[in-house]
Structure 1
Amino acid sequence: MFDSRYIRTFHEVVRTGSYSAAARTLGYTQPAVSQQMKALERDLGTPLFTRVGRGIRLTEAGEALTRHTEVILDSLTAAQQQIDAIARLRAGRVRVCAFPSAGATLIPEAMAMLAAEHPGIRVELTESEPPESLRLVAEGACDISLAFSYPGQSAEIPGELSEVRLLEDPLTVLLPTGHPLARRRSVRLADLAHERWIAGCLRCRANFLHACAEEGFTPDIACTTDDNLVMQSLVAAGVGIAMVPQLVLSFLCHQKVTGRIVEPHTRRRVHAYALRDHLRIPATALVLDRLVAVAERKIGC
């Protein structure tokens, strides 16, 4: 493989017709140009020029290379411009994998900030729950993963990932607005022991069952769903009540549903994860920074 610098020098020699003229244009010495052309010929394994009197003439190989030089240089220039745009945050793509409530709350605000500051950055979104979302980022299928964990649950964090703390998300209970306990600011979990429940994803369900066991009862689970909107509809229809993270309350869609803090207080931890090497990529670092900024505002609300 030849050095791209030699191609630029070769192009200038052909354009100007001599080593000395190319040297003047490029700001090199004539011996430096001659050495580069000899190195290029060694790399290619064939002469590119022959001497004719005091001038030079292209060989057949030289003529063949000349036909491709413009394309090579144009491609190199385009590549450099694209890389420069990515490095300076004028362009770039970041693939983000998030669990549903983060996708509906943290992601939109972060993307709005990006659109205002760096409109050339594109974010591709996928949805997945941990630990699958952590596996995706570890395998390089996405650049950033938003994941959550509950106290006492194993982290299951691949060693090659870097962790960025976002927030702690208090747990709440979704109740029909006409429920007797809906008038309270907070609800003790033990007071809901005789209710029917709608349970969520596997990780949330495991924490829910553990919390109920700590309060001395086994919940009557009417049905389970990973879909927050379906869960709200079920609560609104009176099928049961549900324990959900507070982030879910920011996109309640039913006027017949309300959320109340659960006592004793339990919080899930929300983090962003990326491969350590990816933290050096400007667009990835930028998206992480904006996610942290949005999370800090959520904490303050």
Structure 2
Amino acid sequence: MDIRRMLVLVEVARAGSLTAAAASLNYTVSAVSQQVGQLEDEAGQPLIERRPRGVTLTEAGHAVVRHAEKIERIVSAAHEELRDLAGLNTGTLRLGTVPTVTESFLPTAISAFREHHPGVDLRIHSAQLSGLEHLLESREIELAITWDRDQPDSSSGTGLNSELIFRDPNVLLIPANHPLADRRSVRMDELRHEPWIIRTSPNVLALLQTACEAAGFDPIVTFEARSYQEAQAMVAVGMGIALVPRLSLYSLRNDTKVLTIVSPRPPSRRIVLAHRRGERLTPAGTAMRKILIETGRAWKPAVLEQ
């Protein structure tokens, strides 16, 4: 049976007459009568009895109204829940992130989101690049703060849209007692004989290889670290030097030194906000997107005391 006609019958039952129901619904009396007649055709039996002073429901009419009122309550509850979601009074937002973002500007963004939308349940997943892409594609998260290499339209081959937050330059990390420690900058070709430390990741290794190849040599990797903090520790004891993103230097050891590589300058990382292509963000996702972009673009690394 047509739900709209069922709800018309509910109003007829409440109003007690076709005329009063028509006034309540802003219909004509003939339109209400026609709706009830078509509903009776669908039901295959009378639903109302017309009397001199209004109408009463038949037994079948009472059954239809009873079920229609349940539908009415469900629809009303759905509208109320949607209003709460749109108003960010409830709901869940699942966000993915890479560790360097978690350890830098993400805490500020989380605080801002919770201050403005305390009713939203925020879930954070920290993973590496391939893990975040899987979480997005499997719909376990709605948004991901991730990175890619600084090249145009880097997401065109995936089912994801990415929006640039900012560019994160790669810098050189050396021991404090290194012969280059009194310099502020260095050319890449001066480093051809240096041992290198990298964070374990095909993407990180590819970035280092690109930077070294542009200067005419292949890097000699002597240590693969599980994190940038581990890489810092190995640099500090002289195991090698490291090309690291500035975002990873939220906490810098005092026995290391940061230099800028000026020629050729290594590619930067693009810190991006990614979501599934062609899908509209939820109200919570839209609010978080705005906060992440504003927070990320305003974020400045702590002054690196040397």
Alpha-carbon distance, 1:249 to partner: 0.9
Does 1:104 pair with 2:107? no
Provide, for residues 117-142 of structure 1, a one-character-per-residue CA deviation record: whole Å limited to 9, x for no partner.
33334433223443553454355443
Aligned residues: 298
Alpha-carbon distance, 1:171 to partner: 0.4
Q: Which amino acid aligns with 2:67?
A: H
Kindly indicate whether the alpha-carbon contact (under 8 Å) linking 2:247 and 2:301 is maintained by their aligned counterparts in 1.
Answer: no
TM-score, L = length of structure 2? 0.79
Q: Name the counterpart of 1:292.
A: 293
Q: Which amino acid aligns with 2:209?
A: L
Kindly indicate whether the alpha-carbon contact (under 8 Å) linking 1:49 and 1:56 is maintained by their aligned counterparts in 2.
Answer: no
User: Cα RMSD (Å) of the superposition?
Assistant: 3.3
Alpha-carbon distance, 1:219 to partner: 2.7
CA distance in 2, matches of 1:271, 1:35: 57
Q: Percent same amino acid at aligned positions?
A: 29
Q: Name the counterpart of 1:51.
A: 49
Provide, for residues 193-231 of structure 1, a one-character-per-residue CA deviation record: whole Å limited to 9, x for no partner.
444332122111111022123333333322323433333
Greater displacement, 203-212 / 5-14: 5-14
Query: CA 1:58/1:270 → structure 2, altered by over 3 Å: closer, same or farther?
Result: same
Kindly indicate whether the alpha-carbon contact (under 8 Å) linking 1:249 and 1:259 is maintained by their aligned counterparts in 2.
Answer: no
Alignment of 1:1-301 (within 5 A): 2-3=2-3, 5-42=4-41, 45-47=43-45, 49-51=47-49, 53-54=51-52, 55-130=54-129, 133-134=132-133, 136-138=135-137, 140-151=139-150, 155-158=154-157, 160-200=159-199, 201-250=201-250, 252=251, 254-264=253-263, 265-266=265-266, 267-279=268-280, 281-298=282-299
Kindly indicate whether the alpha-carbon contact (under 8 Å) linking 1:199 and 1:224 is maintained by their aligned counterparts in 2.
Answer: yes
Q: Which amino acid aligns with 1:228?
A: Y
Query: CA 1:158/1:82 → structure 2, altered by over 3 Å: closer, same or farther?
Result: farther
Kindly indicate whether the alpha-carbon contact (under 8 Å) linking 2:196 and 2:240 is maintained by their aligned counterparts in 1.
Answer: yes
| 4+ long deviations beyond 6 Å | none
In structure 1, list runs of 5 or more residues that go unmatched: none
CA distance in 2, matches of 1:58, 1:108: 61
More helix by share: 1
Provide, for residues 67-90 of structure 1, a one-character-per-residue CA deviation record: whole Å limited to 9, x for no partner.
334432222112101212223344
Alpha-carbon distance, 1:2 to partner: 3.0
Q: Which amino acid aligns with 2:229?
A: L
TM-score, L = length of structure 1? 0.80
Kindly indicate whether the alpha-carbon contact (under 8 Å) linking 1:164 and 1:272 is maintained by their aligned counterparts in 2.
Answer: yes
